[in-house]
A = this chain, B = another copy of it.
Amino acid sequence: MNTFKVGIVGYGNLGRGVEVGLKNTKDLELVGIFSRRDPKQLDTTSPAYHIDELDSFKDEIDVLLLCGGSQKDLPVQAPQLAENFNTVDTYDNHNEIPTHFEKLDKVAKENNTVAVLSTGWDPGLFSLNRLFAEAILPEGDTYTFWGPGLSQGHSDAVRRVEGVKQAVQYTMPQEKMVEDVKNKKKVDYNKLSAHKRVVYVVLEEQAEQDKVKEAIITMPDYFEGYETEVHFIDEDTFASEHTGMPHGGTVLRQGQTSDKQTSVYQFALDLDSNPEFTAAVAIAYARAAAKLAREKVFGAKTVFDIAPGYLSPKDPADLRRELL
């Protein structure tokens, strides 16, 4: 088995997910965690360094897993780090992916590195399944349903409402519509009609339920237009039931192979921990990045550009024998 050395850049939920995920891999060895914070203050037993020390590890690290945020960190950090390192990121700003790709591709080709972008599950595995489904069933429609899952952005928005002490928002697919797609029925899908939003709120003392509820369900961009449920709970219930980070979803395509013959293609994920699973996908693509770099296939790569066998630690003959 090949072994590769990896580093983690950024130590939030995703970085911790990569750290724990690497315990499940025999072929990837963690060299260190690199953070903008004082490394002594990171709550970890892994080797930790300040990010300014990263360049001195250039010859010791095969791939860096970039665990910063898509809004501010990755657009700046990823192209810089791709000058000296092979990288994998989970950049998830769908509209900006083409720009991110172009920037990374230029840097990676100039510096003979591999930069894998937008791994994870959406973008990532969901994208892959949208591609497979459409390529195999050119006549048809693809539907993506997100959840049940915790939405960080919507939870943050609720927490900003006056009178809210703690809050969490779950995105739920409309199960009836999911079933209809699976059962080959026609559906009238749009993001709003296909999902509902379920909010759990712990109120500040003296806050008024009705006012808080109204402020939430009418919030433009976030809740307006969606079916929204608001549940008021106490702090103990919140602490015991709503501190996980579950997520998941389903990609479905109804396709006609001929006039009267329909196929339903389905891919679904049900994740107790969104950041740990996202990290697990990034880890598999880090392995792929290391193999591609060894083969001198430089440049930016997405999940569309990488043959699936590269994700596995097994060699091709074993894969054919065991999994084909």
Taking beta carbons and an 8 Å cutoff, which residues of A are in contact with B? 17, 20-21, 23-25, 94, 97-98, 101, 118, 123, 125, 127-128, 130-132, 134-139, 182, 184, 255-258, 260-273, 276-277, 279-281, 283-284, 287, 302-309, 311-313, 316-317, 319-321, 323-324
CB closest chain-B residue, reference A183: B270
Nearest-neighbor residue (CB-CB) of A129 within chain B: B267
7 smallest beta-carbon distances between A and B, as pairs: A257-B276, A304-B309, A135-B311, A261-B273, A261-B272, A264-B270, A266-B268
B324/A127 in contact, CB under 8 A: yes
The answer to whether residues A305 and B302 also contact, given A138-B25, A257-B279 and a CB cut-off of 8 A, is: no
Q: Which residues of B contact A307 (CB under 8 A)?
A: 304-307
- The answer to whether A263 and B271 have CB atoms under 8 Å apart is yes
Instruction: Return the contact of A266 from the options B139, B270, B321 (Cβ within 8 A).
Output: B270
Which of A283, A287, A302 has the largest count of B CB atoms less than 10 A from its CB? A302
Tell me whether B272 and A263 are in contact (CB under 8 A).
Answer: yes
Say yes or no: A134-B317 contact (C-beta < 8 A), given A305-B307, A323-B127, A324-B123.
no
Query: Hey, which chain B residues are within 8 Å of A182, CB to CB?
Result: 270
User: Min CB distance, A265 to chain B, in Å?
Assistant: 6
Q: Determine if A266 and B269 form an interchain contact, defined as CB atoms under 8 angstroms apart.
A: yes
Could you write out 8 A-B pairs with CB less than 8 Å apart? Answer: A23-B258, A24-B257, A257-B276, A258-B273, A264-B268, A264-B269, A304-B320, A305-B309
Return the contact of A134 from the options B20, B131, B312 (Cβ within 8 A): B312
With A136-B311, A280-B257, A305-B307: A319-B131 Cβ-Cβ less than 8 Å:
yes
Q: Which residue of B lies closest to A301 (CB)?
A: B307
Check if B257 sits within 8 Å of A131, measured CB to CB.
Answer: no
For A125, the chain B residues whose CB sits under 8 A away are 132, 136
Known: A97-B324, A125-B132. A280 touches B266 (CB 8 A): no
CA distance A138 to B268 in the complex (A): 18
Contact: B303 with A277, CB < 8 Å?
no
Residues of chain B contacted by A303 (CB below 8 angstroms): 308, 324
The contact of A317 among B98, B130, B281, by CB within 8 Å, is B98
- The CA-CA distance from A117 to B260 in the complex, in Å, is 29
Other contacts beyond A24-B256, A135-B311: 16, CB < 8 A: A24-B138, A97-B321, A98-B320, A131-B311, A131-B319, A131-B323, A135-B308, A138-B313, A258-B276, A263-B270, A264-B268, A264-B269, A264-B271, A267-B267, A302-B324, A304-B323
